[in-house]
Amino acid sequence: MGGIGAVAAAGLLGPGTASAHAESCPDVSVVFARGTAEPAGLGRVGQAFVDDLRGQLGGRSVGVAAVNYPASYDFLQSAPAGADDASAQIQATAARCPDTRIVVGGYSQGAAVVDLITGDPAATFGFGRPMPADVADHVAAVAVLGNPAGRIGRTLTTSSPLYGAKTIDLCNGADPVCSNGDDRPAHSAYVQSGLVSQAADFVAGRVASHAPAGTLVNASGTVG
């Protein structure tokens, strides 16, 4: 909503409504997609990522939302369903809370969900469901772990024009889900390997340097 529309809406809704709305928006909002067959919610890797990230964001308020999807072995049905839910949640947050820094994350099949909404559609097996380009301005960082697209060399850091520079895409050694290796236990060891913490470190840095989409930048290049 433009500045004039926002002022008009605030006047119609009454004093205090606009400020209450702003207070309901967290500084940071994390949307995370769990891995295949993990229980509904963030999953083990997602929860560890959120816990680590909270510890690095100091006094910033953090909202957390799990992608609501089957995470089943019917990958071609499950992952696109997750992409649709993740996209809807992210776009709703961007519209409702334009100053909130959004973090998008996923593990294993959840990483593929993130690929579908942030990657180049031509590089995601024809199932690309990219979000509108202006949503990228609201996303401070993307973190994916055990990304299946890595098996064909399609990491988000190299294949996503809008999100690549703000993405960390990690594969644990010879994890066969994201590489041509055969170390199956590696796929379950992202927390123990320290890669979850590495992802949280990266995201925290991006959040600290990200100017919200509604922030004005003056002619000198500094935030105004």
Decide if 182 is catalytic.
no
Catalytic residue at 175? Answer: yes
Hey, is 136 helix, strand or coil?
helix
The span from the CA of 108 to the CA of 217, in Å, is: 37
Catalytic residue among 108, 159, 160, 179: 108
187 noted as active-site residue? yes
Q: Which helix (H) or strand (E) holds 53?
A: helix 43-56
Confirm if 66 and 107 have CB atoms less than 8 A apart. no
Cα 130 to Cα 4, 84, 115, 117, 149, distances in angstroms: 30, 10, 9, 4, 16
Annotated catalytic residue, options 52, 175, 179, 210 = 175
- Please identify which of the residues 120, 159, 169, 187 carries the catalytic annotation: 187
Going by C-alpha positions, the residue among 166, 159, 151, 164 that lies closest to residue 203 is: 166
**Catalytic positions, please?**
108, 175, 187
